[in-house]
């Protein structure tokens, strides 16, 4: 008959009170369970992964990240496209911030300032920097997360040519009324047009102030849905020249420290199984959540993740408690 391996400083008869004590503190519990259960299924009880829980996102990371190569990675290549990594970082940034986003706004350039193809990146950078200085001076509390996107023009003198425009997610305190937000959108649109240096002022104003160029954001969920569906698709590699940074921010956003939960492999199997039910079907995230020791992230509410963690811990504790009882009967 198999017997439980018992530490020397512990009595062999495990009472129900002692079993309850094992579950009082999670880390202590797992260390004590190790000596009892390691023979049950041969799985490691170590903490190999952790979950960083933000308000709108949870990220799975390894406890010990892979060692960095001691060889120099070399010079950084120029940015030719909106890469998958950049897309992922932009979405994660929007998920991590606690600031309330109230407005998204699209701004672009008139044909006359984009005539020289090789200067388009520099013109867009210079315009953005002027816009940044003026807006922060006028609205010190404003915060803007922007995404630069290159798309071929559908009409005008530059039809078919790739020209940049910007999508902006805007947050500003003490501004909740729709009339206030619409007035802000109008003023930002005018400021942007003036920063571009265009001579086609009236035409540029009409485009910037058009109702399709801005929209009130009613919830963080709406902002994330818009970002993931419409403006964070990786661009095709249409040029061999630098297109500049794909996204950035104006002002200082608030990013609270996440809750950190260390989990074992047994726990992570159960957690990922439940997260897969929340992830979109036929999405690459499904594959990442099926693999062991694979860092990934998922847009999911903080309360939902905490419920999953609580349910997983209780389920495994019940399983272990039944294991103890079975062993006591055998002894």
270 shares its domain with 246: no
Residue 330 has pLDDT above 80, yes or no: no
Residue 281 has pLDDT above 60, yes or no: yes
Determine the Cα–Cα distance for residues 106 and 34; give it in Å rounded to an integer: 56
206 shares its domain with 282: no
- Let me know if residue 166 belongs to a domain: yes
273 shares its domain with 232: no
**pLDDT given at position 163:** 94
Determine the Cα–Cα distance for residues 150 and 165; give it in Å rounded to an integer: 7
106 shares its domain with 227: yes
- Let me know if residue 241 belongs to a domain: yes
Mean pLDDT of 311-316: 84
- Let me know if residue 313 belongs to a domain: no
52 shares its domain with 164: no
The pLDDT tens digits for 36-69 are 444 444 455 578 899 999 999 999 999 876 666 5
Residue 18 has pLDDT above 60, yes or no: no
Structure tokens at 258: 């996440």
At 107, the pLDDT band (50, 70, 90 cuts) reads very high
222 shares its domain with 141: yes
**pLDDT given at position 320:** 73
Number of domains present in the structure of the chain: 2
Of 248 and 85, more confident: 248
Residue 317 has pLDDT above 80, yes or no: no
**pLDDT given at position 176:** 84
207 shares its domain with 147: yes
Among 207, 223, 250, the domain-final residue is 250
240 shares its domain with 296: no
104 shares its domain with 229: yes
Q: How far apart, in Å, do the first and last CA atoms of the chain sit?
A: 8
* Domain carrying residue 296: 16-66+257-304
- Let me know if residue 89 belongs to a domain: no
- Let me know if residue 321 belongs to a domain: no
116 shares its domain with 219: yes
| Long-range contacts, stretch 296-301, CB < 8 angstroms, 24+ apart | 296/59, 296/60, 297/57, 297/58, 297/59, 297/60, 297/88, 297/92, 297/95, 298/57, 298/58, 299/56, 299/57, 299/91, 299/95, 299/224, 299/228, 300/56, 300/57, 300/58, 300/275, 301/55, 301/56
Of 221 and 236, more confident: 221
113 shares its domain with 193: yes
- Tell me the average pLDDT of the chain: 83
- Let me know if residue 329 belongs to a domain: no
178 Cα distance to chain centroid: 28
Among 222, 250, 278, the domain-final residue is 250
Asked if residue 148 lies in contact with residue 81, where contact means CB atoms within 8 angstroms, the answer is: no
285 shares its domain with 177: no
């Amino acid at each position: 008959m198999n017997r439980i391996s018992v530490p020397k400083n512990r009595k062999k008869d495990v009472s129900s009170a002692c079993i309850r004590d094992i579950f009082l503190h999670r880390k202590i519990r797992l260390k004590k369970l190790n000596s009892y259960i390691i023979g049950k299924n041969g799985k490691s009880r170590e903490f190999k992964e952790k979950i960083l829980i933000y308000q709108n996102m949870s990220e799975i990371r390894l406890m010990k990240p892979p060692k960095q190569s001691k060889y120099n990675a070399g010079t950084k290549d120029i940015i030719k496209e909106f890469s998958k990594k950049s897309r992922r970082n932009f979405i994660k940034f929007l998920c991590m911030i606690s600031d309330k986003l109230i407005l998204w706004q699209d701004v672009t350039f008139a044909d006359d300032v984009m005539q020289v193809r090789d200067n388009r990146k520099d013109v867009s950078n210079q315009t953005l920097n002027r816009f940044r200085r003026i807006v922060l001076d006028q609205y010190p509390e404003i915060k803007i997360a922007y995404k630069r996107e290159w798309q071929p023009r559908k009409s005008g003198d530059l039809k078919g040519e790739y020209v940049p425009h910007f999508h902006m997610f805007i947050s500003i305190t003490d501004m909740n009324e729709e009339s206030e937000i619409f007035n802000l959108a109008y003023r930002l649109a005018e400021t942007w047009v003036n920063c571009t240096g265009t001579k086609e002022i009236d035409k540029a104003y009409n485009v910037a102030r058009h109702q399709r160029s801005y929209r009130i954001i009613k919830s963080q969920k709406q902002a994330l849905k818009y970002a993931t569906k419409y403006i964070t698709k990786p661009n095709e590699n249409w040029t061999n020249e630098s297109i500049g940074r794909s996204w950035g921010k104006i002002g200082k956003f608030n990013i609270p420290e996440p809750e950190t939960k260390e989990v074992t492999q047994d726990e992570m199997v159960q957690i990922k199984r439940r997260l897969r039910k929340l992830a979109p079907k036929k999405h690459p995230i499904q594959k990442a959540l099926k693999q062991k020791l694979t860092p990934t992230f998922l847009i999911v509410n903080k309360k939902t993740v905490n419920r999953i963690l609580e349910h997983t811990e209780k389920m495994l504790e019940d399983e272990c408690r039944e294991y103890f009882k079975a062993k006591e009967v055998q002894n």
